[in-house]
Structure 1
Amino acid sequence: MKEIILQGQEQRMRAAVFEDGELIEVHEEEGEFSHLVGNIYRGRVENVLPGMQAAFVDIGLEKNAFLYVADAMPPRFADEVKLTSNHLPRVEQVLKPRQELLVQITKEPVGTKGARITTNITIPGRYTVLMPNTDYIGVSRRITDEEERSRLRERAKSICPQGMGVIIRTLAEKIEGNELGEDLEALVELWSLINEKVPHVSVPGLVHEDVDLLARMLREWIDGKVETITVNQPVVAEGLRNALRKLDHPATNHVHLISKDNLFADYGVDEGIRKALRPKVWLKSGGYLVIQQTEALTVIDVNTGKYVGQSSLEHTVLHTNCEAAVEIAHQLRLRNFGGIIIIDFIDMILEEDQKQVLATLENACVKDKIKCQIMGLTKLGLVEMTRKKVGQTLEVRYSKQCPKCDGTGRV
């Protein structure tokens, strides 16, 4: 069961997502933390860096955006020459200083780093993603039934405009009606409007801004598991009911209005955020995690803490590690950590115990819409995994570095 809490205050909109009564995601839209991924800009190449196979592009933000050579090549050209990651053209052959480009943000600015961009534009809808510059047809990897994948692929081929590409999203699974065609048709129309607007936008400048928090919620988060949506603004509640009615979603009659200024406090969201900003996370058994983020990676240590078990040391360790694996997947989503993640589980002697813990971690990460990849155990017994970086972390959004200790936490 999923529940969404929407709290609006003045010009700020915040959303919290609960899964089985547990806070799993927090989103907000205000000022510098407004959503940038998906925005399309006219940009100008400022610096071409042969040593990095990349360029910095001015798109009108505070910091220049980063464009890697692979993200600057037309997909059709890449297919024709059958390029591999070890055989890319030199960046100076693809990009020139002062060159003007139409680009899209794929990663938000983080810390001192500017946004990452691509010239391969994508326009996402609820059921499909339009790729106007390539003729690729794809189906979400989360749809695992081969018969359903084949059906959706054939459907995509029949509705996709010539010379364009489309990816079928997870929400399209089992959709039989005209929803896919209507969704893609709306995206093609939007792309046409964007193209018409491009010549009238100065360089650098914003051409197209991705949808706001509410529309993104309807597009990205409201799936069949969402049962209840609670909001504190009458206009928002009525708008959601109308939108859900068009989607024929069962939550249409479960949009509840509670006229309170701070729903987040009543539902424990604010307290959940405070806990997620602490390095120590207690497990129900009495064990605990210690989570530390560095610039390069995130390190997680698992400890038995107060838990002493009942039958044997092996059982105590296995129980703690499995419980920790589930909580680690939850914390990564809530804190929105990305990049390289190293986990130091309690040492396990039996190989079957190691496999069970890894399987538990993999199963817990399946719920995460952001791509996770678990690499397995190293020779030192550490678990290596990655999670795609998307947006700012909870720590960046809700805290700032201490001016006295410069972030060390020690005086």
Structure 2
Amino acid sequence: MIETRGEAMKQMIVHCTQHMTRMALLENGRLVEYAAERDQQQGLVGSYYKGRVINVLPGMQAAFVDIGQKKNAFLYVDDVLHPHLEKQSQIKPSIETLLQPGQEIMVQVRKEPHGGKGARVTTHYTLPGRWMVYMPFAEYVGVSKKIGREAERNRLKAIGERLRRKEEGLIMRTVSEDEPPEAVEGDLAFLRAQWENITRRALSAEAPALLHQDLSIVQRFIRDAFNPQRDELVIDSPAAVQEAEAFLNDMAPEGYKPVGLYEGPDSIFTAYHIQEQLHRSFSRKITLEGGATLIWDQTEALTVIDVNTAQYTGGISLEDTVTCTNLLAAEEIGRLIRLRDTGGIIIVDFIDMEEESNRRLVTDKLESITLLDRTKTHILGWTRLGLLEMTRKKARHDSAGFAPGLCPCCGGTGKSGSWLD
């Protein structure tokens, strides 16, 4: 595989305890992604179920499906229609014409259950592999937008069109850039076999039933964010090392960098300076280089980030000082959104700038950082009040193991409530 010049050196550090696995991804020693998974609470996203429709709600254009979880899953009409937009009719049919109570249906979880809501499910089935995402009924070939060279995009699209069968759809992932056709073809053969196994189970299973569970947290990050030949993987559990090597052997039969076993006296997260980075990055107040600060507040509906110059005084003029502060903040905000896995609506209150060109510089900086994020972020632009609006898709909710809780005294307000007593 041809390596990209200047690409950051990645280290994937895995800390295993009796009941939890925690994973940290470092780029040049800096923490950029974190996730945790309890051993008995593996996430549902990506898993397939054979479910039973419990009720159909025409007013919501949705149905609720029993998949064997505490809450029934939510299935919207758009997730029942054909996955290819061009195959859909101009007028959206009523959900009642598509589904009936008691009907058995195979669904895939696309969003975790959260709070009082059940999982969000779809019939737009996908199976992610190393080089591609396989879609059994999508009928098109797509190429990752992060592959910029037009000649390479055309090459990958031609490979996909040659390999796919009539109803199949493929999305060529960013890591498929410059890969030989043989590697892509091998990945497709594996995903087809996986899909056939899922459909075979669906024929004999009695609803509700789990048909296929997505990979563990470590396997998922190896598949999605890891270069087996170049990146470093270090784990502090011999059993987890064996599991990771077995997965790498299947995923990268051409060879991979040996998995390291950490046996030091301190916690692996302490030895790699991860714990201190977690505490600093998940604080409400984050101090940037030079003394500027970010204030990070999360509500039920959106996340608000306030940028302050604080002790930062660099720059030859007020406009220059403000712009430099905002550029530093934009770079850190892009990293923290990815690290915290912040989703939904995000509002950033940058310090006011007079010149439009400087606002463009800040937007460009934020966009360049979010391009490194595997989760799609959409920057909408500046409001009339000078706030920057953006959204980020999120399928999985707060990871176990590092989710700061509300203060039992103030309930997260930072103010005493003793006057109510």
Cross-structure match for 2:275? 270
Tell me: CA distance 1:403–1:45, structure 2 relative to 1, closer, same or farther (3 Å): farther
Q: Which amino acid aligns with 1:69?
A: V
Q: Is 1:229 aligned with 2:238? A: no
Letter in 2 for 1:210: D
Indicate the residue corresponding to 1:115 in structure 2. 119
Equivalent residue pairs, number:
406
Verify: 1:105 aligned to 2:109, yes or no.
yes
**C-alpha displacement at 1:248, in angstroms?**
6.7
What are the superposed Cα offsets for residues 280-325 of structure 1, whole Å, 9 maximum, x if unpaired?
1111110101111111111111000111224210111001000000
Alpha-carbon RMSD across the aligned residues, in angstroms, is 2.3
Give unmatched runs, 5+ long, in structure 1.
none
Residue 19 of structure 1 corresponds to: 27
Structure 1 residue matching 2:257: 3-state secondary structure: helix
Q: Is the helix fraction higher in 1 or 2?
A: 1
Please state how far the C-alpha of 1:191 moved relative to its aligned partner: 0.9
* Cα pair distance change 1:99/1:128, threshold 3 Å: same
Residue 10 (structure 1) aligns with: 18
For structure 1, which segment, 327-336 or 9-18, has the greater mean C-alpha deviation from structure 2 after superposition? 9-18
SS at match of 2:323: helix
- Give per-residue Cα distances to partners, 1:251-302, cap 9 Å, x unaligned: 614x322224721122232232223332111111101011111111111110
Distance 2:96 2:408 in 1: 42
Instruction: Give the aligned partner of residue 6 of structure 2.
Output: none
Task: Name the structure 2 match of 1:60.
Answer: 68
1:134-149 counterparts in 2 under 5 A?
134-149=138-153
Q: Runs of 5+ in structure 2 lacking a partner?
A: 1-8
Q: 1:31 Cα deviation (Å)?
A: 4.8
Structure-1 separation of matches of 2:274 and 2:242:
23
Structure 2 CA distance for partners of 1:342 and 1:305, relative to 1, 3 Å: same
State whether residues 235 and 262 of structure 2, in contact with CA within 8 Å, keep that contact through their aligned partners in structure 1.
Answer: yes
Counterpart of 1:210 in structure 2 is 214
The one-character-per-residue Cα deviations of 1:167-210 (angstroms, maximum 9, x if unpaired) are: 11111110014111110001111111111111332211211111
Alpha-carbon offset, residue 394 of structure 1: 4.9
Residues 394 and 193 (structure 1 numbering): CA distance in 2 closer, same or farther, change over 3 Å? closer
Matched, 1:332 2:337: yes
Contact 1:3–1:226 (8 Å) recurs in 2 = no
Distance 1:47 1:281 in 2: 47
What is the CA deviation profile of residues 79-108 of structure 1, one whole-angstrom value per residue up to 9, with x for unaligned ones? Answer: 34444xxx4222222222222210001111
| Residue 366 (structure 1) aligned with residue 374 (structure 2) | no
Amino acid at match of 1:398: A
Tell me by how many angstroms 1:401 deviates: 4.2
Residue 154 of structure 1 corresponds to 158
| 1:390 corresponds to 2:399 | no
TM-score, L = length of structure 2: 0.90
Partner of 1:287: 292
Alignment-derived partner of residue 380 in structure 1: 385
Deviation at 1:117, TM superposition (A): 0.8
1:35 equivalent to 2:49? Answer: no
Asked if 1:73 is matched to 2:81, the reply is yes
8 Å CA contact retained: 1:334, 1:394: no
Amino acid corresponding to residue 339 of structure 1 in structure 2:
G
Which one of 127, 134, 152 corresponds to residue 130 of structure 1?
A: 134
Distance in 1, Cα, partners of 2:191 & 2:105 = 21
In the other structure, the counterpart of 1:169 is 173
Q: Report percent identity of matched pairs.
A: 41
Q: Following the alignment from structure 1 to structure 2, what is the Cα–Cα distance between the partners of residues 403 and 304?
A: 31
Supply the AA of the counterpart residue of 1:305.
Answer: A
Instruction: Indicate conservation of the 8 Å contact 1:72/1:118, yes or no.
Output: yes
One-letter identity of the residue aligned with 1:196: R
Distance across 2 between alignment mates of 1:372 and 1:226 = 27
**Residue in 1 that maps onto 2:313:** 308
Does the aligned pair in 1 maintain the 2:19–2:39 contact within 8 Å? no
**Larger deviation, residues 199-208 vs 344-353:** 199-208
Contact 1:335/1:394 (8 A) holds in 2: no
CA, structure 1 residues 363+80, in 2 after alignment: closer, same or farther (shift >3 Å)?
closer
Deviation at 1:112, TM superposition (A): 2.5
Segment drifting more, 348-357 vs 139-148: 139-148
TM-score with structure 1 setting the length? 0.92
Contact 1:67 1:116 in 2 (8 A): yes
